[in-house]
Each structure stands twice: as C-alpha cells, then as structure tokens.
Structure 1
Amino acid sequence: MKRLFNPLIILMVVVLGIISYIPCVEGSFISMETTASATFQENTLVAKVSVTNKGDEPAYNVQIGIDAFNNVASIPVKDVIQINETYTIEKTLAMDIQTVGRYPLIVTVDYTDLNQYPFSAISSSHFIYKEDVSPKIHGKIDNVGILDSGIIILSLKNLHDSKKKIRIKLIVPKVLSVTESIKDIELDSESEAEIRFGIKNFSGLLGSSYHVFAVMGYNENKKNCTVTIPGVVKMIGRTDFIRNYLRNYKWVFIGIGIALLAVFLWLQFGGKKTSFEKSNIV
C-alpha cells in the first residue's frame, strides 16, 4: 500500500501542475489590423478600408477583398506593407438593395511573409441603407483551439416576441475550411439555441490565431437585420494541446498532489507509536 504513494508519484503530479505555467516561445509575426466604413449614396456604396501592419516584420503581396452583402470587389495587390505602416483604399460598388436596414460588410486581407508563406485575415463591419435597425437576437462564439479539426459553437438568444427565420453564414479566412458554412434555422420567441460548425485546418500556421465571424440576417417589420458574432480559432500543436489541458485542470492536479502527500505522511508517521508509548506496552 505504501508503494502506491511513493514520493515519486507525488512529484510527478506536482510537476504536471507546474508545466501548466510554462509559457510558449513565440517568434516573429505579422498582425494586420483592419478598420472599415461605408456610406450609401443613391445606388452605390463607397467603402473605405485601412490596414495597418502591427507585427514585427513586413507583409508582402497584400490584397484586400471587400464583400458588401454578396457584392464582391478586389483591390490590386500592394507589394509590401512595412511595420506600423497603414495602407488605405477606397472602393465604389454598385448596389441593388430594396429593403431598408443594416447589411454586412466583410473585408478580407491576404498576404505573405518574406518566405512567401500565405496568410489570410478577415474583419467585419456593416453599412446602413436608409434606416438602421437594432437587432434583438444576440449571440456568442466560444473561442476554440484545434489540432487538425474542431467544432465552433454559436450560442443564440432570441429576444423578439415572435419566431424568426435566420440565415447564418460562418465567415472564415482561407487557411480554414468549413464543412457547412451556411445554415438556415428557426428560432422560437424568447428562446436559445446552439449551432455547431465543423472546421478544419487547411493551411493555418501552428501557434497563429484567426478571427471568424458568424453573420446572421433576418427580417423584422419589413426591415433587414444583420447580426455579426466574432470568434477566434487558434492553431495548436500536440504540446500546446497538453499544456492547455494541464492549465485548465492545474488546480485538480495540485489538489491531487496535496492529497497524496497527506496520505503518504499519514501512512509514514500517523500509524506509528512514539517511543514513550512503546515503552509502556506490556
């Protein structure tokens, strides 16, 4: 029985808890910060996009793509964006919108590093046609880390007093793949639901984090409502997976170590009588 609580076992449990605090070593990186705005003028949309390189190395072959409610436009490639440099473009898109309301504006930034490794980043905004609409459907996406594939969980809550038919589109960068990117659902009044999307790592770089967006559209009193929910997917290796697991359960491992130590000490000393007590035994 005493061998089961060998000090080596206790040491291993404590070490597992300590591992959860060991930080990852990170190299150089490119981080593209994007801001977008758009104004509607008659039958055209004027979109303005600014991209800033917040990383510690230049970004090469930068191309900006704009998707305004399925009206897509691409901007000519810019050779390089230096560290802390901001690149701003303005694009006019012809639009044919009949219903007033709020509509999605998605910006994609594709670029490479010095070694021509491809990266892709997306950001989300919206534009207004005649009249803005405040949506009453709220949601959240739990951030997820994946090895090769995983599940994105979108939680929704309907605050309307009526059932709503909602179209959901999961927008991801090119380095990720979605098994079913568009889903149509019905959400009862004052109810909640969870929607799951299967994702795969196509060419994501280990250790990188990528923004994803669930864009939802529905009608309310003959007006278009758009809700955009952000989330983050991180590419993790097997070592990172183990480290994250240990970090999430570090107090469990530490607690087990303390409990084993207490049992070990009790077995070693608690069951033994002192020399004084032994001398009085007949």
Structure 2
Amino acid sequence: MSTFFTLANGNKIPAISIIGIGTQWFNGTKDPKIHEALVTQLKHALSLPGKIHIDAAENYQRYNELAKALKETDKPRDEIWITDKYSKFAATPVDHLNETLKTLDIEYVDLYLIHDPFYAGKEFDIKQAWKYAEQLYKEGKAKNIGVSNFAVDDLKQILEIAEIKPQVNQIEYNAFLQNQTPGIYQFAKENNILLEAYSPLAPLSTRNGETSEFYEVVESLAKKYGKDQGQVLLRWVYQTGVLPVTTSSKTERITKASQIFDFELTNDEVSQISKLGNEHKTVRQYWTNEYSKSD
C-alpha cells in the first residue's frame, strides 16, 4: 500500500520519490544514445508495489530512457506519478511540457515545476512563468503545479498573482540544511505548500569518515529499527512533513527507499535528529552562488 501527502488542491502525491532521472545519469546534453543502466533502474522501480513517483527535469535530458521504461513496464499509468520541471532551455514552460508529453507518449504529467526563480535575461519573469504553468494546469496537461528552489520572496511574488497557488516547492533539504533559504520551511507550512527534499541523504553522501553525536544517533536508530542509516534519514524527512526525493545507481537502494513506511521514529527521535542536524555545519551542494550567503 502506498503512503501519500495531500496537496492543497486535494490531490494525493506519493510520499517519496524513489527514482530520479538526474544526478546519477545526468550528462547535460540531449544524447540520443539510450543509457540502459538508467532504463534498468527505472524498470526496477516500476516493478515495486504501489504508486511509484519518478522525478524528471528538462535539465537532466533523460526522457528517452524514461520513455523506454514506461513503454516496457506493466504498471498502469495511474500507478505512476511523473514529475517534470521547466529548466529554461525551451522557450517557455508550455513548449517544454508539450515536448515532454510527446517524447514520453503520455497525455499529462502528475506534477510540473518551475525549476528555479532566476529569470534575468529571459523574455518573461517568474510571474509569467507561473501563468504558463497555470495554463497547463487548466488544460489538464499538468495535474498539479509547483516550483523548485524558490525562496520566501519568490513565493510571495507568485502568490500575489496566482489563480492557482503552488502546490509544491522542491528544495534542497536535509538534516544539515533544514532551510534552503531563510524561513522557507515555516512559510511553506503556513501557506499549505508541500516541501519536497532533494539530496535528503547529503549527511551520508558527504560524511567522509566524520564522527559525531549526530552519526552515532542515526546509527543507533538504524540498529533499533532494523533499517539502514539512509532509511532512517529518509524517514526523518517524511516525519518533518517533507517529501523526500532520492535516487541511486544501485537497485537495492531504490528498493530500500521504498521501505520507509513500515517503521516510525518517536517524536523525541525526530527532534533529536533535527537538533543535532541544526548544530552541524551547513551542508549545501546546489545553488551555492545564490544561496550560500545565508549559511
């Protein structure tokens, strides 16, 4: 059985994205060659029980692999959640999504995000970008719409003009970075905008042999619940009310990411991870030029 968050419009979104088509396989080009390792990972994810949440983006350029996996899976479309993002390569969000739908041979994406708020030099600003997203929502080509890497001021600009407010803001979020930008966690909660966390396992992937009370606690909890440390941190993200977005080049890690809903951290354990994480030096891997000034 799948676990879901409920968005502001009442739609239900799978509470974790276990497979993304970026990061591990991104090469920055529209390479026509099919990367079979990614196809294999996608097909494995789609073989798992429940509704599977796939995270894609124009910036990743891996739609051919996703198209092949979708064509070859037996999982019905209504058991697959596809997120896509407009990364400003195509002329407009409308142009990009139309191309995505054609490439994937589908009629809609489940969630469409404006990938970032930086529109200097573009022929339109973030308000117009949002209007394009609303158009796609009204046309039924995007069942839900949102943003990514938006700060509080960016969201305020959108909310000023929105007919349909963003349902999601996908941000870099982990125990060592609990606010990608100042106050974004609380602002999103107050405005019923679901936060999604990319790079939620940064404390593990950037550890480099570090020892501290934080890691001792996470290791202890992993032993207590019979899980690995990654599953504990993904569960922590979920219990802070944030949807974790993860991926891996290893099949077993994708499977394990899908298995975080059969145990529950206590409130004290969640608070302890949050406290120790906040005391740790900030770990920020993306948008450092734009946002590291707040560290």
Shared fold by TM > 0.5? Answer: no
TM-score range, shorter chain: under 0.3
**TM norm structure 2:** 0.22
Greater fraction strand: 1
